[in-house]
Structure 1
Amino acid sequence: MTTAPPADPMIGRLVDGRYQVRSRIARGGMATVYLATDLRLERRVAIKIMHGHLADDNTFKTRFVQEARSAARLAHPNVVNVFDQGQDADMAYLVMEYLPGITLRDLLKDYKRLTPEQTVDILDAVLSGLAAAHKAGIVHRDLKPENVLLADDGRIKLGDFGLARAASANTATGQALLGTIAYLSPELVTRGVADARSDIYALGIMAYEMLTGEQPYVGEAPMQIAYQHANESVPAPSTRMPSVPAELDELVLWATARDPDERPADARIMLDRLREIEPGLRPGGAVRTASHDTLVLVGGAGDVPTAETRVLSPGGPGLAGTLTDDGEGDDADALTDAANRRRNRGYWLLALVLLLAGLAGGTGWYFGAGPGALATVPETAEMLPQNATLELEEAGFRVEPVERHDPVVPAGQVSGTDPAAGDLARRGSTVQMFVSTGPQILAVPDVVGQPEADARAALDDFTVADDSAGQFSADVEQGLVIAVLDADGAPVGDEYPERGALTLVVSAGRVPPVEGLAVGEAQSRLEDAGLKVEFADGQFSNEVPVDVVITADWLSDPMKPGDTVRLTVSKGPDLVEVPNVITGQTIAEARAQLEEAGFVVASNVPSFLEGAVVASVQDPAAGESVVRGTEVTVNFQP
């Protein structure tokens, strides 16, 4: 069952009172990049916000601010512009120009490898931006395809100066190696030192990857790759892809030399060399490959070819013409005809080259800036459909609304898209926009009397609380379900919303009976069952021995773990000392005194004589301790 991803709390937030966050573009190890609107200048920008858990790490905060300062020092068409940097509460942010498009990594994923011409175009742009950085004294230190941005309008820009440092001297990391391991130079691996030549090495690895579709070094662990960088030389791209021109072979080997002194000193030197060889790499230019040169073999002396003259070209043997001694005759006509054929063939070749160039240009436009260009599907979850439609259409997509149930997103809001937010899709393609109709109403299975685990499995379409509610029951066996409660704590009905919150009430067995047990044992049994114990005032009991529980009263009904049981404990028999009533008292006075002390009085004197008769006998005798309520006999004895 598909559910909407949890909403990003940054979506819709106003940063520093100026930047309205609209959707998420990408997430990295140090920060997340969002599309935002600069309300002051009314333009779209990319805002890079450092992850909250790094806010207290001074190293990361310093590196984040360093990126802003490094990029702000550069003003070049091939470097991503930085507009602003600041702090909003505990959130450090960086505002950059927004470039809708893809990265070089995305392009390599789609096309595996690039043509020499495409590689030259990208290298030219990256080297131009990098040359500006090197001129400003900045070493990028994290060159990789992920940091090369290919805009929809054809611009190529270098971004992410998060690891950049001043290059006035060799820069040592002083800690774990920074940058991506696949592009680390040998000196960074072995000595942790980087300068402009380290950027050149990384760019050489990128060129190798663009030309061959793979990186030169692979391994199961990062340290294996690092070891190869430090101890092996990068092979020529043509060893993997024979069609790579020799000029690009030489450029890659120059850039990836293990000894930094053998590489170009900075990006400007490498750019100049690239532009020297570039004309020969374009369609129609003379491309020299590693194994094919044009050779002219002359048989004989002098400037005039003899009958043994042969011309060899990269495409194969040329026409071998022959001349007579005087240079006349049918051979001259043959040469003229051959020349005409070559000229006509040249026209056709020129037309073919122009056609192919037009197709290549059209294809490049179609996939680079035209309808076939890739664009990122924006985040629209929990937006209103009309706003989400505008967002998707601005990104270049057609929108098809589709209703579907969603247990999380409220009815009437967008619950997601297909393709999903963050995926790449062709401009002009249709994106399905799912509009939530709320959760689906489902029948609730009857799980009363089932074991808890079975009940949870049967209620898988709902959100069952991890902690069940225990309840004591004399009728339901321990561990079986007594009831299912809804979000309000009432018994659930026959139907309930999908993924709605439910709580299981599970039997804890019966409350342990403790009447007649010694108070210590009774308390232990109740507390072991998860109940609390409190004590009422003790009571005298002629039947229950002292310190034995007379009654156990439940203070809740039904009883649940944590509820309280009140125990009444016996104080034993209620003994009272018999007073002396036989001296100087009438029977009536004796009766009153004994009854006040809690005794029952018996006498052999009629009631009408009790006032005049003096008691002379009592049983039990005065001073004895007997149970309150015992019958005491008071008789007259003459």
Structure 2
Amino acid sequence: MEVDRLINNVCAALAFEDAEFLDQGGQKYVLKGKLSGAPSVAKIVPVIQGPNGEVTLKRAQREVELLSAVDSDRVVKVLTDAIEIGDPTEAVCWVEEFLDGEDLNRTLNHRWKESEVWPLLHDMAEALTACHDLQVVHRDLSAGNVRMMSNGRFVLMDPGLARHLAKSALTGGFQPGTPGWRSPEHVPGGDPVPASDVFALGILAFYALSGAFPIEPHCAQHEYDLALVERQAPSIATLVPEVSAELRTIIDTCLNRQPARRYMDGSELKVALETLGGGQ
């Protein structure tokens, strides 16, 4: 299906008005427009016929299902059901709330102050708590999936690769995740758990403060995988000596190589932040 015709069909199916192209990333097209007069974004995922297309369709449907179930201001809200376009299905689409600001990967071009990192940790711990309470592991908490709002708050997006712990994973033995932002459990043969999301958040905080990854991803895949499994990330204090003891404890615990020695989920991390972070 040609892109222009696809967009026209999507807008008609969603009753999405004043659409303009906003972004393209991964497998999605993103449009900005209005739904019932309110600023919104439409997301479109093309579906290629065949087994891979079936997986793509199910992932998109699951993303909308999860977003509909999560009730948190720190997780993007979905405004419609997932709607299939074409027969056979050529794309699936839905509408989400419009988030101003920009993705985190566009704000990490300078080292953040400690006072900027605490809100990131607090907001993402709240977002993860909302997911983990539903037994959902995000599995791709990367800089591109966190939105930094103009008011300084942070919102978690795109749980399309998430896994419900009580259900079988669509991805089988393959563990998704963005290089640089993966946990040891993302290595093939591993099993991402809520503590894996905590590890990824630790990477975000580490990178924001230092401008470096705790485990360097720019190497051969097998070398990166081996480092994730066998190498303990350095303490953030080795790169940022001036970091407070409280923030060092939070980040270093998030980045423990062994999941049992991290905060086990968003809720436990949230309690630690409230205890150590105080009014930050």
TM-score (norm 2): 0.89
Gaps of 5+ in 2: none
CA distance in 2, matches of 1:179, 1:190: 11
Residue 47 in structure 1 maps to residue 42 in structure 2: yes
Q: Secondary structure at the match of 2:187?
A: helix
Query: What's the offset of the Cα at 1:220?
Result: 2.6
Cα deviations by residue, 1:91-145 (Å, 9 ceiling, x for unpaired): 2102110112101111112xx2211111001110111011011111111110011
Give the AA of the match of 1:99: L
Name the CA shift for 1:54/1:216 in 2 (closer, same or farther; >3 Å). Answer: farther
Name the CA shift for 1:47/1:184 in 2 (closer, same or farther; >3 Å). Answer: same
CA distance in 1, matches of 2:196, 2:154: 21
Structure 1 equivalent of residue 79 of structure 2: 83
Higher mean C-alpha displacement, 263-272 vs 186-195: 186-195
Structure 2 equivalent of residue 102 of structure 1: 102
Name the CA shift for 1:258/1:54 in 2 (closer, same or farther; >3 Å). Answer: farther
Query: What's the offset of the Cα at 1:213?
Result: 1.3
Residue 197 in structure 1 maps to residue 195 in structure 2: yes
Name the CA shift for 1:120/1:170 in 2 (closer, same or farther; >3 Å). Answer: farther
* Greater fraction helix: 2
Q: Secondary structure at the match of 1:45?
A: strand
Q: Secondary structure at the match of 2:155?
A: strand
Alignment of 1:548-587 (within 5 A): none
Cα deviations by residue, 1:285-306 (Å, 9 ceiling, x for unpaired): xxxxxxxxxxxxxxxxxxxxxx
Aligned length: 272
Contact 1:10-1:21 at 8 Å conserved across structures? no
Name the CA shift for 1:60/1:181 in 2 (closer, same or farther; >3 Å). Answer: same
Among candidates 180, 183, 196, match of residue 182 of structure 1: 180
Structure 2 equivalent of residue 23 of structure 1: 20
Structure 2 equivalent of residue 147 of structure 1: 145
Structure 2 equivalent of residue 235 of structure 1: 234
CA distance in 1, matches of 2:179, 2:240: 24
Cα deviations by residue, 1:573-611 (Å, 9 ceiling, x for unpaired): xxxxxxxxxxxxxxxxxxxxxxxxxxxxxxxxxxxxxxx
| Identity in percent | 26
Give the AA of the match of 2:233: V
Alignment of 1:113-124 (within 5 A): 113-124=111-122
Contact 2:247-2:277 at 8 Å conserved across structures? no
Contact 1:33-1:48 at 8 Å conserved across structures? yes
Query: What's the offset of the Cα at 1:268?
Result: 0.8
Alignment of 1:191-340 (within 5 A): 191-218=189-216, 219-279=218-278
Give the AA of the match of 2:92: A
CA distance in 1, matches of 2:160, 2:137: 11
Name the CA shift for 1:249/1:121 in 2 (closer, same or farther; >3 Å). Answer: same
Contact 2:14-2:94 at 8 Å conserved across structures? no
Alignment of 1:383-398 (within 5 A): none
Q: Which runs of structure 1 show a deviation greater than 3 angstroms over 4 or more consecutive aligned residues?
A: 7-13, 52-56, 168-173
Structure 1 equivalent of residue 155 of structure 2: 157
Q: Secondary structure at the match of 2:277?
A: helix
Query: What's the offset of the Cα at 1:25?
Result: 1.9
Name the CA shift for 1:17/1:33 in 2 (closer, same or farther; >3 Å). Answer: closer
CA-based RMSD of the aligned residues comes to 2.4
**Which structure is richer in relative contact order (CA contacts within 8 A, separation 6 or more)?**
2
Name the CA shift for 1:182/1:239 in 2 (closer, same or farther; >3 Å). Answer: same
Structure 1 equivalent of residue 59 of structure 2: 63
Query: What's the offset of the Cα at 1:167?
Result: 2.1
Contact 2:180-2:215 at 8 Å conserved across structures? yes
Give the AA of the match of 2:68: A
CA distance in 1, matches of 2:235, 2:266: 20
Cα deviations by residue, 1:430-488 (Å, 9 ceiling, x for unpaired): xxxxxxxxxxxxxxxxxxxxxxxxxxxxxxxxxxxxxxxxxxxxxxxxxxxxxxxxxxx
CA distance in 2, matches of 1:171, 1:234: 28
Give the AA of the match of 2:102: I
CA distance in 2, matches of 1:279, 1:170: 39
Cα deviations by residue, 1:487-541 (Å, 9 ceiling, x for unpaired): xxxxxxxxxxxxxxxxxxxxxxxxxxxxxxxxxxxxxxxxxxxxxxxxxxxxxxx
CA distance in 1, matches of 2:145, 2:58: 20
Alignment of 1:379-458 (within 5 A): none
Alignment of 1:590-629 (within 5 A): none
Structure 2 equivalent of residue 92 of structure 1: 92
Query: What's the offset of the Cα at 1:276?
Result: 1.3
Name the CA shift for 1:49/1:107 in 2 (closer, same or farther; >3 Å). Answer: same
Gaps of 5+ in 1: 1-6, 283-638
Q: Secondary structure at the match of 1:83?
A: coil
Contact 1:212-1:240 at 8 Å conserved across structures? yes
Residue 32 in structure 1 maps to residue 29 in structure 2: yes
CA distance in 2, matches of 1:168, 1:141: 15
Name the CA shift for 1:228/1:73 in 2 (closer, same or farther; >3 Å). Answer: same
Contact 2:173-2:188 at 8 Å conserved across structures? no
Cα deviations by residue, 1:384-406 (Å, 9 ceiling, x for unpaired): xxxxxxxxxxxxxxxxxxxxxxx
Structure 2 equivalent of residue 298 of structure 1: none
Q: Secondary structure at the match of 1:35?
A: strand
Give the AA of the match of 1:102: E
CA distance in 1, matches of 2:225, 2:66: 27
Q: Secondary structure at the match of 1:149?
A: strand
Name the CA shift for 1:68/1:169 in 2 (closer, same or farther; >3 Å). Answer: closer
CA distance in 2, matches of 1:12, 1:193: 40
